[in-house]
Structure 1
């Protein structure tokens, strides 16, 4: 059901029952075609430029021409047709699930996909009509895009995924579900048993006792996305604490680097003492926009606080951040 809050602002609102609060789990692993869909959405986004800017330019250069039609299906808001992002554990299983969707797609789904496509919708209509050539083209586009954008980075994607789940599982055990989920986004919070993220577009859903699966993505940078799961539960896709560009090519030296990335971990270390954005940038030799990206994510996770003192912006680690530093050692 969709609507508006009393103040008229657009947001995500997820209604939990008491039973739902007892059935919040984490996905066991990242899923190839889900990550591909979010990766292609991320390529088209313009937010978080300090972290994702170079990665986006490189990914666009490396993306084969035969994969470009996917931009008609996989849009930057991440609200993609579910049949292109099946919850399959391997690429081959996922592609088989995509192929099996032929003949089940509705006219309403076609209308929505065509309205969102930046290019010609003719090949989308051919897909919905069951045209064999169009489905072969889709299979080839997914394979080539996966090999270019996702496959080379799969160990790093898994590292980001596992570190995020390990951290939030610990947070859940120590502080409960409210603290665990409030750190999923800078504008996330709770109104009673309703989880809210104050960012558009507006979407309201009731879990109805079916539970919720939390799934981090190292590609996604936007507001958490709510989707259905074949089991009947809902899935909440959210940005992993360490996005792919910050995951080092080598194995992390410790749990803190695995969770935050080396630069972001260094920012948190510095903020045991209160510092300004400029002081952090100077100490680490990074740009002011980069510091702002890092502090925004650390603040959203409840690891630092930020306050203004005149024109200066002051950051300092919270008790939770200090606790993480101690556990990381």
Structure 2
């Protein structure tokens, strides 16, 4: 298993397109944008679940490389993917039927839609996407090195758990990914907030999961420190405070945050194995785990000999 070295532009585009359709309050303001008509074919193919045809979002590191792969995808593979994702009982749109039949103009319209969508949804935010991705990559790499594969995979989403050699993740649909000796690439996304998505590409199996900090929380201004770039300012400030045990009330008072916000941030930090929490009467005490302290040291939050 490896953590991807760079974000995949077209996978991020698919997830950004799906975010336009989801009723995720985190992306409410981001969704208020005017989209060019040329994006129509892309919107036709990507549902809110982001489970569109795989030929649409190859895990290429560069946009031009990904566009070339869409252009060169065989008609048979395009037709098979469109049949796989098409909703039962619904007739495909006329242009989708043309695409499935190998129509050159339909393929060009799709490539134009992808290029336009990238420019309007991803390209303008690429610096923020890149910063959030690499902060997440550094964190998962550290977790993998210090805690191992099982802890790393179980920490991708709350509630994930191991049953023997099988990682189980709660989700509304039934899905199973058997690696059968194939490698697995972990790909964090700042656009995705749902359960991990698995894709079987010629390049290898890819598991997309939500980064700790979503795009709307990457506010575009330079972060105060590396920890803020990874966790977001609120969670970073809380982790800084927890080199000694503190209650939710202590944190809320000292950081001038609402207790509900502190509790929500603490839940995310706890699910990422960075803090532990214990209840003592009405108070809930929080403190850093060894991994949390290690992360603070690595980001310069506390001295190396502390």
Aligned residue number for residue 22 of structure 2: 45
Aligned equivalents of 1:211, 1:30: Cα separation in 2 = 18
Q: Report whether the alignment pairs 1:211 with 2:183.
A: yes
* 1:271–1:317 contact (8 Å) kept in structure 2: yes
The answer for the alignment partner of 1:113 in structure 2 is 85
Q: Deviations over 1:282-303 (max 9, x none)?
A: 6555667755653343222112
Q: Please give the secondary structure, in 2, of the residue aligned with 1:205.
A: coil
In structure 2, the residue matched to 1:6 is: none
Equivalent residues in 2 for 1:1-329, closer than 5 Å = 24-47=1-24, 49=25, 52-53=26-27, 56-101=28-73, 103-105=75-77, 107-115=79-87, 121-231=93-203, 233-272=204-243, 273-276=245-248, 284=255, 291=262, 293-306=264-277, 316-329=287-300
Q: How far, CA to CA, are the matches of 1:321 and 1:95 in structure 2? A: 40
8 A contact 1:33–1:87 mirrored in 2? yes
1:15 counterpart residue number: none
Distance 2:89 2:240 in 1: 44
Report how far residue 36 of structure 1 moved. 0.4
> TM-score scaled by structure 2?
0.85
Contact 1:187 1:197 in 2 (8 A): yes
Instruction: Name structure 1 gaps, 5 residues minimum.
Output: 1-23
Partner SS, residue 123 of structure 2:
helix
Which consecutive segments of 4 or more residues in structure 1 shift more than 4 A? Answer: 116-120, 278-293, 306-316
Range with greater deviation from structure 2 (99-108 or 155-164): 99-108
Q: In structure 2, do the counterparts of structure 1 residues 307 and 73 end up closer, same or farther at CA, with 3 Å as the change threshold?
A: farther
5+ residue gaps, structure 2: 301-306
The alpha carbon displacement at 1:88 in A equals 1.9
The two structures, once aligned, show a CA RMSD in angstroms of: 2.9
**2:191/2:210 contact within 8 Å kept:** yes
Q: Is the 8 A contact 1:227 1:235 kept in 2?
A: yes
Q: Which has the higher contact order (CA 8 A, sep 6+)?
A: 1
Cα deviation, residue 160, structure 1: 1.2
Whether the 8 Å CA contact 2:54–2:201 is kept in 1: the answer is no
1:45–1:312: structure 2 CA closer, same or farther, 3 Å change rule? Answer: farther
